[in-house]
Amino acid sequence: MNRSLPFIIVGAVALILCGSGVMLYRAKRLPAPTAATDGEKTADLHMRGDAKAPVTLEEFGDFQCPPCGKVAAALHEIEKDYGSKLRVIFHQFPLAMHAHAREAAIASEAAHKQDRFWEMHDILYKEQDVWSKSLDVPFLINSYAAKIGLDVERFKKDLKDPAVAARVDADQQIGLSRGVLSTPTIFINKTPLPPTSLNPPAIRAAIDEALKATPTPKP
């Protein structure tokens, strides 16, 4: 029997444990989502609701993400219920794991060129189960463009505009700079919601807490 074998085994185990420790350390250091910085640009945001609302809900979303689709449906009702007390901001964050997410994000930005971002946003989530499984995604996206009243030929040209794709990339960089790693990621008045709170009751509770914390305007 080779007398050095036990030492080799011990050494190998030590290397494995060391490597696991490094990986665990790095995992623990992954950034948690953070609030927007004061220098972050707010012009030309995808915003719905009263710009002076006391509560702002920001979402980093992916159009092919099923949980994002569920959140989008819930937010429709939440927006109606809170009215002028809430504004919603959407940021693009297409995930590489979703084959058509970036394509859909670019489509929404092309629709934005004709002031129809939210209409495209809504129909992409409403029809998510259809287009995300289709063998001809461009055909369906073009049909949605026609359905929401876009100039389809202009829309097709805008889909190829590098500036449109650059806007998607810019949104994603903002998300990464704030520690966003998954979708949906939601902030209420710049405070990130934990993953366990991405359901309608928890979102409403967070909005209610934010409203309580908002100073009452002086008469």
In a domain, 132, yes or no: yes
Inform me whether the pLDDT recorded for 68 exceeds 70: yes
Percent of the chain with pLDDT over 90: 77
In a domain, 146, yes or no: yes
Q: How many C-beta atoms lie closer than 10 Å to residue 19's C-beta?
A: 10
Q: For strand 55-61 and strand 86-92, is the pairing parallel, antiparallel, or unpaired? A: parallel
Higher pLDDT, 27 or 146: 146
- In this prediction, residue 34 has a pLDDT band, given cuts at 50, 70 and 90, of low
Inform me whether the pLDDT recorded for 113 exceeds 70: yes
Determine the longest span between alpha carbons in the chain, in angstroms. 90
- Residue 117's domain comprises 46-213
In a domain, 168, yes or no: yes
DSSP per position, the chain: --TTHHHHHHHHHHHHHHHHHHHHHHHHTSPPP-PPPTTS--TT-EEEE-TT-SEEEEEEE-TT-HHHHHHHHHHHHHHHHHGGGEEEEEEE---TTSTTHHHHHHHHHHHHTTT-HHHHHHHHHHTHHHHTT-S-HHHHHHHHHHHTT--HHHHHHHHT-HHHHHHHHHHHHHHHHTT--SSSEEEETTEEPPGGG-SHHHHHHHHHHHHHHSPPPP-
Q: Average pLDDT, stretch 105-134?
A: 98
In a domain, 188, yes or no: yes
Residue 69: give its domain's CATH number. 3.40.30.10
In a domain, 32, yes or no: no
Higher pLDDT, 87 or 9: 87
Inform me whether the pLDDT recorded for 12 exceeds 60: no
In a domain, 13, yes or no: no
The pLDDT tens digits of the residues spanning 184-213 come to 999 999 999 999 999 999 999 999 999 999
In a domain, 204, yes or no: yes
The pLDDT tens digits of the residues spanning 144-196 come to 999 999 999 999 999 999 999 999 999 999 999 999 999 999 999 999 999 99
In a domain, 33, yes or no: no
Inform me whether the pLDDT recorded for 7 exceeds 70: no
Inform me whether the pLDDT recorded for 124 exceeds 60: yes
- What's the total number of domains in the chain? 1
Give the pLDDT score at 67.
96
Q: Average pLDDT, stretch 43-58?
A: 92
Q: For strand 55-61 and strand 191-192, is the pairing parallel, antiparallel, or unpaired? A: unpaired
Q: Is the peptide bond before 184 cis (omega within 30 degrees of 0)?
A: yes
Q: Average pLDDT, stretch 22-37?
A: 42
Inform me whether the pLDDT recorded for 13 exceeds 60: no
Q: Which two tokens stand for residue 55?
A: 């509560």
Q: Average pLDDT, stretch 12-32?
A: 39
